[in-house]
Amino acid sequence: MEQRTTNAFLTNLGAFAIGTIIAFLSILLFSFKLNLAGDELWQQLGIEKTKGTSSIKESFLSGYLQYYGAKNIKNIAVSDRAAVAQNLLQYSKEYVKSPAFAQEYSNTRKQFKPAEPEAAKTEDEIRKKFIDDTKKAMANLEEGMKTANADMKKIFKEGYDLQANALKDYQDPNSEMIKMSVEGEKNQYTWRMTEYNTKLKEWEKNYPENHLAFIKNRLTVVLESTKDVDFTAELVSRNNKKYFANPAYEKKSNNWKFAFRAGKETTTTVRSFIQAWLKELP
């Protein structure tokens, strides 16, 4: 791919939603040299190891590419990318099995758990609120009448009488208004619980208790979305940007496009590693 195509791609990476670590790996492939070990890998990238590890964590947890702080992008030879991908995948695999990542995942999972709705208000609670609000309104109207002119006093008095009649009704044990409000509260609570249970099931699916099951879901998305990448796809230039000549490819997922740009050899390496990794996961 042309160099300016790569540059444009890198510039727009931050806006791409991704399923898993493949996006993080794809960007790092442009910055490492082969046969480096330990901290030297991160030095070659131009980013501290702690920040690089954090980027891996955030890419898994948030589903968005995180590569902030990487300075030495685009320095690796195309022929070296598959080997680098292998090294990075191995590092990522070991990291997500660590207690540190497990704790980060647990914290994230709790943050996304839907809050259970408050219990429906009881009839006594509803009645008390109606009575308290009405008494407060009456007190305000009564205070207003003290300084109002004759015309306004008449308006305040009419309002006061309406509130007084309402108060009498709310204090009646057989008040129809209270019964209707109680029934409405029950219906609202039933609706809120239905919505909560739906969200809870979705949360349990997206954030399983076992963090390795979460990783499995992420990796499965990558395999599914990169299984049919056309690495021979033609690109065309429009307004100094590269687009797929086939319009259908422009509608492909971001993972698909990342894989295309990473190249067949790199993507094959990533997919093979993930397939083997998935066999080890519960």
The reported pLDDT for the residue numbered 39 is 62
Kindly state the average pLDDT of the residues 95-108.
89
The model's pLDDT over 132-187, given as tens digits with 9 standing for 90+, comes to: 999 999 999 999 999 999 999 999 999 999 999 999 999 999 999 999 999 999 99
User: What Rg do the C-alpha atoms of the chain give, in angstroms?
Assistant: 31
At residue 85, the pLDDT reads 66
* Helix/strand/coil (H/E/C) assignment for every residue in 241-265: EEEECCHHHHCCCHHHHHHHHHCHH
Amino acid at 174: N
Higher pLDDT pick, 240 / 57: 240
70, 27 contact by CB (below 8 A): yes
Which contiguous run of DSSP H or E holds residue 195? helix 176-206
The mean pLDDT value of the chain amounts to 79
List 241's β-bridge partners, or say none: 238
Can you tell me which residue has the tokens 């709790």?
110
Specify the pLDDT at position 191: 97
Chain mean position to CA 154: 57
Specify the residue for token string 């998935």.
Answer: 278
Structure tokens at 69: 């702080």
Q: Are 131 and 170 in contact (CB under 8 A)?
A: yes
In this predicted structure, the answer to whether residue 24 has a pLDDT above a threshold of 60 is no
Flag whether pLDDT at 271 surpasses 80. Answer: yes
Non-local (6+) Cβ contacts of 6 within 8 A are: 30, 74, 261
Q: What is the pLDDT of residue 258?
A: 82
Which residue in 79, 89, 86 sits closest to 263, CA to CA? 79
The answer on pLDDT for 14 being more than 60 is no
pLDDT by residue (tens digit) across 60-100?
Answer: 676 544 443 433 334 445 555 566 667 777 777 888 888 98
How far is Cα 28 from Cα 157, in angstroms, rounded to an integer? 76
